[in-house]
Structure formats: C-alpha cells, structure tokens
Amino acid sequence: MDKEAIIRLERVFLEDLKGGSLREITLSIYPGEIYVLTGPTEADKVTFLNLCLGLIKPQEGEILVGGYDFKRATYHQLIDYRRKLQISYMAYPPALISNRSILSNLLLPLEYHFPKGNHLKRTKELLALLGLSKYEDKLPFELSLEEKRLVELARALVSQPQIIFYRQPLENFDSFLQQKIVKIIKQYSEEMSCTSIIVANHWLPFIPIAHRFGILDQGKLIYCGSPEELYASNEPPVQQFINIQKTIS
C-alpha cells in the first residue's frame, strides 16, 4: 500500500447499528485527487463517508486519515485530528447552525480556527460567486433547500481545507447549477490542492473532473479505477450499473 495516501482503508469491515455495512474494503486516496464514490441505493455509500469522517469506527481493519489512526482515536482526539487535517464536509441534508446568519455560519470555521485574517472579504466573495450575497444576513430557516445546499457548499470551501467530503453535491439542483458546482469543485480542488471525496448517485457529471471512480454495492467495493477504465470494465455488475445509469440519464 502506498505510504503517501491521505486516506488509507485496509481490509475494513463494519456493521453499524443503523444496518449499514462495509465488507473487506481496501482503498487508498491520494492528495489532490478527486475521488467519486457511487453505487446503487442501499450500497452503504453514507456508511463509507461516515467512516472516513470518523463518525463511525470499523470493527475490523485499519483506517488512517492524514496518517492519523481514526480507528483507535478517542472522540476528542478525532475532533482534534479533523482540525489539524483541515477537513470540511458538504452535508446532505444541510446542517447549518440554525441560530446563526448565513454569513456567520460561513465565518464560524474560519474565526474558530484562524482568528486573525481577512475572512470577511473571502467569505463575501464566495457568497457572491454562488449568488448568495443577498442572503448573508438571513437565518437558515429563511432559505429554500437549494439555497441551503449552496451555503453548505460555500461553508465547505471557505476554510481552504485539505480534504473535502461532498455528500450528494448535485442533489436538488437544476442542470445549470449542477454544471456550475462541478466546475467550482474542480477549480477549488486545483487552486487549494485539496483532496475531494464525492459520494454521489449522479456520477455522470463528474466524469470530466474525476481522477478515479469507485462503485460500492452492498458494502463491497466492486470497482475502483479511472473513468476510462470504468467504461472498459468487463465485470458484469459494473456494466449493469453503468447501463442502468445511462438509461436513467
């Protein structure tokens, strides 16, 4: 296994209380990579995401994120590791802090970890880029689901993280916004040299920007490789999944 991987999963096995499970997953994700994980419904993609975020722990196997052992870390150590690794997350459904304005939600990770700096300018620029400037003084409950999702995206990007996790980043958006979001993910990934892990049902829009795709099915990683290799794969489950997705699209 490559020592330079920023996320390393080694023969991970888990069954969580909510019925999610991962079986024998071995995977390395490298710095600066855009990795898209997809799969059918009930494939346990969210379980994979929660595992990489340290919100759940494997029963067997190892998970290292940025060299930190997420399996053996305590609750407080995990939070500290996330701070040191500068992890951010675009949640789904949105999880904005309800008693803070949109601007304050975006400023929170910046002011908490880096009290000095011109955060306001950077935050307002990002809000303008996503067309959210007019909402900056509003509270989250005053926004539509689509707008809240855009604010989530802005919050994930604003602190210039090293690793960004996206959960269903294209859900609830029209095709115009979907294209815009894909471009923004690519732009920020290159500008900040950050690692992007995208968990999505709609994976086709990510083909131009993804370095690798993974397909998860019932807790098993049935495919992992480049987009070109994905189409060339002769594996029946992979072909079946691709055909279904093309039909839906």
Partner 1 sequence: MNLIIQIGNKILESLKNINQIIQLLVDAVISLFYLQKSSLRANMNVLFSQIRFTGINALPLVNKLALLLGIVVIIQAATYLPKIGASDYIGSIITLVIIRELGPLMVAFIVIGRSGTAIATELCSMKINHEINALEVMGINPYQFIIIPRLLGVAISVFCLVVYFDVIALGGGYLVSYLKIKLPLIAFMSGLKQSLALKDLILSGVKGLLFGFTIATIGCYQGLIIKGSLTEIPQAATKTVVRSISTIFFFNSLLAFIFYYS
Contact set with partner 1 (CB under 8 A): 53, 55, 75-80, 82-84, 86-89, 91, 93, 95-99, 108-109, 111-115, 159, 165
In the bound state with partner 1, the residue whose beta carbon lies nearer, of 73 and 204, is: 73
Instruction: Compute the least distance from the CB of residue 115 to partner 1, in Å.
Output: 5
Torsion of CA 159, 163, 168, 170, to 10 degrees: 60
d(CA 69, CA 80): 12
Residue whose token pair is 């993910």:
185
Cα–chain center distance at 219: 18
Instruction: Return the closest-CA partner of residue 227 out of 215, 210, 205, 244.
Output: 210
In the bound state with partner 1, the residue whose beta carbon lies nearer, of 107 and 238, is: 107
Instruction: Compute the least distance from the CB of residue 35 to partner 1, in Å.
Output: 18
Helices (H), ranges, the chain: 45-53, 75-85, 102-113, 119-129, 145-158, 175-191, 227-232, 236-248
Asked if 215 and 39 touch (Cβ cutoff 8 Å), the reply is yes
Residue whose token pair is 């020592």:
3
In the bound state with partner 1, the residue whose beta carbon lies nearer, of 84 and 134, is: 84
Instruction: Compute the least distance from the CB of residue 62 to partner 1, in Å.
Output: 21
Instruction: Compute the least distance from the CB of residue 79 to partner 1, in Å.
Output: 5
Instruction: Return the closest-CA partner of residue 26 out of 64, 83, 81.
Output: 64
Instruction: Compute the least distance from the CB of residue 112 to partner 1, in Å.
Output: 5
In the bound state with partner 1, the residue whose beta carbon lies nearer, of 84 and 183, is: 84
In the bound state with partner 1, the residue whose beta carbon lies nearer, of 138 and 211, is: 138
Instruction: Compute the least distance from the CB of residue 187 to partner 1, in Å.
Output: 22
Measured in degrees and rounded to the nearest 5, phi and psi for residue 198 equal -110, 125
In the bound state with partner 1, the residue whose beta carbon lies nearer, of 53 and 143, is: 53
Q: What angle do CA 128, 210, 160 make, to 5 degrees?
A: 40
User: Which one-letter DSSP state was computed for residue 97?
Assistant: -
My answer on whether omega of the bond before 40 falls inside 30° of 0, hence cis, is no
